[in-house]
Amino acid sequence: MIEIKFQGRGGQGVVVASEILARACFGQGKYPQCYSLFGAERRGAPVAAFVRVSDEKIYLKCDIDHPNHLILFDTTLVNEKQISQQMVPGGFLLRNGDNSYNSDALKSHTVGSVDALKIARKNGLEAIVNTAILGAYVRLTEIVSLDTLLKVIRDTVPGAIDQNVAAAQEAYEKLSLHQKM
């Protein structure tokens, strides 16, 4: 079973991203479980969403404290020490941000980054980076195929469908891999 944590801020599409990923996993015959945590629903407030994925039915009903994969929509929410303490060693970390990255604290993790905000803005999505993040995540982890992800995006997002598909495809191509085990 793979446990995934999405961390970001309200308005970035964190919860919708977790739902899209769960649907994509289901579309490939896997068993997903998806939930989110947030306080007052306002733009800019911290938001966390979680997805479990398995090849078998999931009966576990507890929080995810130590994810195998961490997706950071906003890197100002946690520092490297916090990341390494919460993630399972050998896990995958995806950062939204520029491609400059160097960390000794995360050497036991596979780390990738993508400038999802730049890609989202280029495609007319403003600060909603969720589909761009997912495109990069799918390439980093190969959890589902890009085709499956794009189909779910087309079937799920309520508007700007072509822009969201383009953002996911571009981020898939522009993923920067910094550390690999």
Domain count for the chain, please give it: 1
pTM surpassing 0.85?
Answer: yes
Residue 148, burial from CB neighbour count under 10 angstroms (0-12, 13-18, 19+): middle
The two tokens of residue 181 are 């085990």
Q: Does the pLDDT of residue 181 top 50, yes or no?
A: no
Place of tokens 């941000």: 97
Average confidence (pLDDT) over 13-31? 97
Domain that holds residue 20: 2-179
Q: Summarize pLDDT for 78-124 with one digit per residue, the tens.
A: 888 888 889 998 999 999 997 655 666 677 889 999 999 999 999 99
- With 90 as the cut, is the pLDDT of residue 16 above it? yes
For 34-73, write each residue's pLDDT tens digit: 998 766 667 788 899 999 999 999 999 888 999 999 999 9
* Length, in residues, of the chain: 181
Tokens of 123: 């495609």
Q: Residue 116 sits in a domain of what CATH number?
A: 3.40.920.10
